[in-house]
Structure 1
Amino acid sequence: MLSIRNIVKQYASHRALDDVSLEIEKGKIFGLLGPNGAGKTSLIRIINQITAPDAGEVYFNGEKLNPDHINKIGYLPEERGLYKKMKIGEQMLYLAQLKGMSKNDAVSRIKYWFEKMEIQSWWDKKVEDLSKGMQQKVQFVATVVHGPELLILDEPFSGFDPVNAEMIKDEILELNKKGATIIFSTHRMESVEQLCDNIALINKSHKILDGRLKDIRNSYRSNTYKVEYTGEPVTIDQPEFETISASAHEELQTLTIKLNNGKSVNDLLSSLMPKVTIHQVNEVIPTINDIFIQRVSEKGAVTL
């Protein structure tokens, strides 16, 4: 769907993007991650043709990105851009027609989305009369009303209470199920875990991580296990079993142990079972948040 090739973007003395390349597959949800100032917004602005790269190219469905592609893209920016004094229905109609929709089609689709978002009565309200969360709903409708092939969502859950955040998440998944490709930029790593097929991490203008979410998590596995048991606290003084932490909560004891020298979890259990009663064993697999912090920290301190 989207091929981003060797993009460079310079602002005076600041290089926002330095030789960044990404491949975003059709029909996938792609997480674009990075600390503040990493270059994510600069890349999003280039895809939306708000700015142009100083070097490199972007291809949309095999064609070099051009103005005709704008109507196939829906963009929800982090800084919302609604006209505060304009009636919501009129504003949605105006924005839909800017994306190439006829008036009749636009009215029909706006009514459809207003019903889905439970905002049917808002047609004659002004944006300035709405709460931040209510404005977010309207902005989301403006982003999706024309049925874009590519959705770019920058912090889409910002300003929503948990109920409405769940509603928006369900709508994102439904749009993806119907064929939309989605670029999802956020600091909420739990949302990345729930939604994304692939991710890329940008830091200090460079891509430092890229791939399938599952593959990336598996690549950071460290053969570490958490064991919950009852019995007297135990320690293992063997180089093959490295104790990372030990704790207790009421009668339940917890050991986190890294296995070395080719040892398996069965070897660990064989060592513990004569001494304690095992209740649960789980492999410790790092979350995307853990990986994010580790990789960004390796590149130096930044503002998250």
Structure 2
Amino acid sequence: VVIFFGDLATFEHVMGVLQCQSIERTPWHRFQFVIFVMGLFHLKMACADAIWRIFIEPKLLQEDTNSLMAHLALNHPWETGKIGTNPGFRRMHEVIVHDGLALRLNTWTTELQNRDLTTTSLHDYAETAPTQQQIKEISNRLARFYVAGGDVDIYALRSQSPQRRDTQNENVVFALNQGDIGRVETLFPLWISIFQGTGKHKYSAHMIKFLMDVHFVYPDRLRKAVGHNVLVNPTGLPGKFRGVDWVEESMINLYTKHTFGGSGSNYTKKRVIDESTLIKIHHSRHDNIEQNF
């Protein structure tokens, strides 16, 4: 078995090959050994795009004082135009992370002020030297009462403070960075519904297929192989897991297509193919120069 990772366009190419070879006589010539697995880096990009479609793209929603665009006017005042039209993954990812951090800090401040009116900031609370048990108790309360759950009326929630609303994108990012594929799978049902509601039906269909294949189709050994290889950690540092498709994009496609693929009239398919065999040499040469000069 060869596990093949990639985005949905790659999946369509792989399926095209399998369909073309389906009339062949032997399993080898039918490429039955190829197992395609959806790349989770592109899934993370799709999550960020879905958040943009829900909270930023609708013009009427931008007039809400508790909207994400209203927060952007405070956090990214010079980028509201770009973010409102075509932010791209990196910029949108930063928006989600920064807004989430600000809302969580605001939530902590609100909860502490409800407990003690003399507490005006998190610095005041830190000076009281709280114990780990006290911090854990407050954290559990925040997760229970300040995060939207299944029994929450979202229409009534819109009139409440923004820190009571939760963006599930950060849950996916955290689980991916920690290499917790089990937690990622538990978030799939939620995102399947979100993707269907935002018009990203291909991703919702492939997420359903992924869950069905892993839990009901693949044998135990193949299931473990997929779970152990769908995320990798190139640096070996904690919290630095990445999808295999991220490695392909950043370490292979970036150097092959853009860095050493030529430019102008030299940017041809032949040039890209010829240079692809020298990518590791070019990469090692750059590392050598950076480390010694």
State the TM-score, normalized to the length of structure 2. 0.31
- In terms of fraction of residues, the more helix-rich structure is 2
- In terms of fraction of residues, the more strand-rich structure is 1
